[in-house]
Chains A and B, each alone.
Chain A
Amino acid sequence: TQLLEQSPQFLSIQEGENLTVYCNSSSVFSSLQWYRQEPGEGPVLLVTVVTGGEVKKLKRLTFQFGDARKDSSLHITAAQPGDTGLYLCAGGYGNKLVFGAGTILRVKS
């Protein structure tokens, strides 16, 4: 059983569209991170959120941590082909980092 459930699993959209990826759990996490992974490479950190209700923006990407620190979302505005990749959320749980299964995003031009 995944401690962190990500949805959707796959997302294929046109350039310029907006999208939201969700990361949900019944557990409380001390922190929540979002990573992006491209084929043949390791994941690269996009953002870390640590406070319930926290919102962080990174250019066209907006990240939110739920008030109860059990869920998070990643919103991309005006997606571009360069946003294509695997997006992973990861929650801090004791001395471990627990990953969701990931969302494969494909942005078509």
Chain B
Amino acid sequence: EAQVTQNPRYLITVTGKKLTVTCSQNMNHEYMSWYRQDPGLGLRQIYYSMNVEVTDKGDVPEGYKVSRKEKRNFPLILESPSPNQTSLYFCASSIQGSMADTQYFGPGTRLTVL
């Protein structure tokens, strides 16, 4: 089944404790991205990747890191999480970098930073 998977689905952590949220897609998509969703603000892009080893900042990159060593994986790293990073996170992929392509979203990761 074609899908985007994220792990973990739920995470409660404390300020400053490094964490990684994994994202994997099995559709051989070139474009992958991370979003955070907050009430009243919609989805805001954190980082995106046009292909392996190619990443770029989205609209809200501060406090986050990403890497794209393989085509299928695009982990999101929070080196020192803070409470303002409490949010619902979505990974997405599309076949190429055209914004007219269908974005396939993962099921989301709900992160709480205490």
Contacts and interface: CB of A to CB of B under 8 A. Distances in A.
Interface of A: 2, 4, 6, 9, 30-31, 33, 35, 40-45, 48, 50, 88, 90-102
Contact of A42 (B45, B58, B90): B90
Given A99-B44, A101-B42, A40 B108 contact: yes
B9 to A, nearest CB: 9
Interface string B20-62: 0000000000000101000011111100101000001011000
A45 B59 contact: no
Given A4-B42, A9-B40, A95-B48, 12 more contacts: A31-B98, A31-B100, A42-B90, A42-B106, A45-B102, A92-B98, A95-B56, A95-B97, A96-B59, A98-B45, A99-B35, A99-B43
B29 to A, nearest CB: 14
Contact of A43 (B40, B100, B105): B105
B99 A30 contact: yes
A93 B33 CA distance: 14
Nearest to A43: B105
Given A42-B92, A43-B43, A31 B103 contact: no
Contacts of A42: 4, 90, 92, 105-108
Interface in B59-114: 59, 90, 92, 97-100, 102-103, 105-108
A2 B44 CA distance: 10
A97 B42 contact: no
Contacts of A35: 103
B102 to A, nearest CB: 5
Given A42-B90, A43-B43, A93 B108 contact: no
A92 B99 contact: yes
B42 A88 contact: yes
Contact of B99 (A43, A97, A100): A97
A4 B92 CA distance: 20
